């Protein structure tokens, strides 16, 4: 009987031990599951923060003054994102004083259970072509009292923003000013340019510094949305008026006092010629891609808003000639084309070409608001100086 009692006690002890072990295993499993769940939530929040940071880089490339992103849902999922922008000289929530000339991006991701992760980046925005009034892959020449400055296109008020120019060319004369011409800003030749690459003669002047770029400016080639080479021509003369809707066209010629009115949208022309009092007028945001030559009188392009970003010319490879007096408001991006402004051409906006020549008292008035607006599908370069995850 005693043996049976001892055996029963032993069984009960074993059962107790097994129960303790089972409870411990269950507790450990629950803890592991809880940890795994938290890790998953953390990864989701970090993924959202990373995505928000990449979005910020794109937005800052399009506009260095992008204000950030208020708290909002991340796509169609339950996660949320937010982007805060800290200007040069300010202090971030993590105690960093933002260096001069740089911007701090704090991207926050929040999981559906409220777990928060952050990505912090110190960046230098606007390191690409649109920090400049004029950019050329090869030479820039100003002659005959031609000038580059910064002005408000609506009021014509002179702006304090420097109208900097730059070229990737490294052999003299990469930039040449003569005949009383001027630049109200800095002039930069290509990286490692030879001494004397910038030449200023004949009473000309550069108000800012003269130096070299620290790296070549990337100028992406123009990619046409469609091929206009086989499309029928559009030719207007004799004072007629025609309305055009977005599409692909062959050679477009407007002269003899005729008028071509473009509805807002994207156009692809094989060539464009505006002469003899012919005019082309837009009524809203318009992009014009041209495969071949562009030959226009500056006064023949009508942009009623006077906002250069409302009208953008993208030229694939043709020669670009802008002649005669008058005023126009647009962005010209022709990185593989020679661009010639002659006879008092007066343009508000930004001009990008392969070789650029201003003669006969021509002007380019840089509009700083065009920053980030020129290059198709992008704009300036944003350099990431530091990257942290919190």
φ/ψ (deg, to 5) at 58: -65, -45
- Tell me the whole-structure pTM to 2 decimals: 0.67
Residue 9: count of CB within 10 angstroms of its CB: 10
pLDDT of residue 6: 47
Domain residue ranges of the chain, discontinuous segments joined by +: 2-126+382-389, 129-370
Please give the angle made by the CA atoms of 307, 84 and 369, to the nearest 5 degrees: 15
DSSP, collapsed to helix, strand or coil, labels residue 334 as strand
Separation CA 165–CA 211 (nearest Å): 11
pLDDT of 166 reads: 93
pLDDT tens-digit map of 324-377? 778 999 999 999 999 999 988 899 999 999 999 999 999 999 988 775 455 554
pLDDT at res. 344: 86
Question: How far is Cα 204 from Cα 186, in angstroms, rounded to an integer?
Answer: 14
Cβ 320 vs Cβ 104: under 8 Å: no
Low-confidence ranges of the chain (pLDDT < 70): 1-35, 61-64, 125-131, 371-383
pLDDT confidence of residue 173: 94
Q: List pLDDT tens digits, range 153-203.
A: 999 999 988 999 999 999 999 999 999 999 999 999 999 998 999 999 999
For residue 199, what pLDDT is reported? 97
Instruction: Identify whether the C-beta of residue 379 lies closer than 8 Å to the C-beta of residue 362.
Output: no
Classify 182 as helix, strand or coil.
strand
């Amino acid at each position: 009987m005693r043996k049976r009692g001892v055996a029963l006690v032993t069984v009960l002890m074993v059962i107790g031990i097994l129960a303790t072990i089972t409870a411990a295993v269950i507790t450990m499993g629950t803890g592991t599951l809880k940890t795994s769940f938290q890790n998953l939530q953390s990864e989701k929040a970090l993924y959202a923060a990373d995505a928000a940071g990449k979005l910020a880089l794109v937005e800052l490339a399009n506009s260095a003054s992008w204000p950030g992103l208020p708290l909002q849902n991340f796509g169609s999922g339950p996660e949320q994102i937010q982007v805060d922008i800290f200007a040069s000289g300010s202090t971030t929530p993590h105690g960093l004083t933002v260096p001069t000339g740089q911007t701090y991006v704090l991207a926050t991701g929040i999981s559906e259970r409220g777990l928060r992760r952050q990505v912090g980046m110190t960046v230098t925005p606007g390191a690409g072509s649109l920090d400049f009034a004029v950019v050329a892959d090869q030479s820039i020449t100003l002659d005959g009292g031609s000038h580059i400055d910064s002005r408000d296109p609506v009021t014509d008020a002179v702006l304090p923003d420097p109208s900097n120019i730059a070229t990737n060319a490294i052999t003299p004369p990469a930039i040449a000013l003569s005949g009383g011409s001027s630049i109200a800003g800095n002039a930069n030749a290509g990286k490692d340019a030879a001494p004397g690459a910038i030449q200023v003669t004949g009473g000309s002047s550069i108000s800012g510094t003269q130096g070299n770029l620290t790296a070549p400016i990337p100028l992406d080639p123009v990619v046409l949305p469609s091929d206009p080479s086989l499309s029928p021509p559009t030719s207007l003369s004799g004072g007629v008026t025609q309305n055009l809707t977005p599409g692909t066209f062959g050679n477009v010629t407007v002269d003899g006092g005729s008028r071509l009115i473009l509805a807002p949208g994207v156009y692809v022309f094989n060539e464009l010629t505006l002469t003899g009092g012919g005019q082309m007028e837009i009524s809203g945001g318009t992009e014009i891609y041209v495969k071949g030559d562009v030959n226009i009188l500056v006064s023949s392009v009508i942009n009623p808003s006077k906002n250069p970003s409302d009208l953008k010319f993208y030229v694939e490879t043709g020669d670009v000639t802008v002649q005669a007096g008058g005023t126009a408001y647009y962005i010209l991006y022709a990185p593989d084309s020679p661009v010639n402004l002659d006879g008092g051409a007066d343009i508000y906006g930004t001009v990008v070409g392969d070789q650029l020549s201003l003669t006969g008292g021509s002007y380019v008035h840089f509009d700083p608001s065009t920053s980030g607006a020129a290059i198709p599908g992008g704009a300036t370069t944003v350099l990431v100086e530091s990257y942290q995850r919190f």
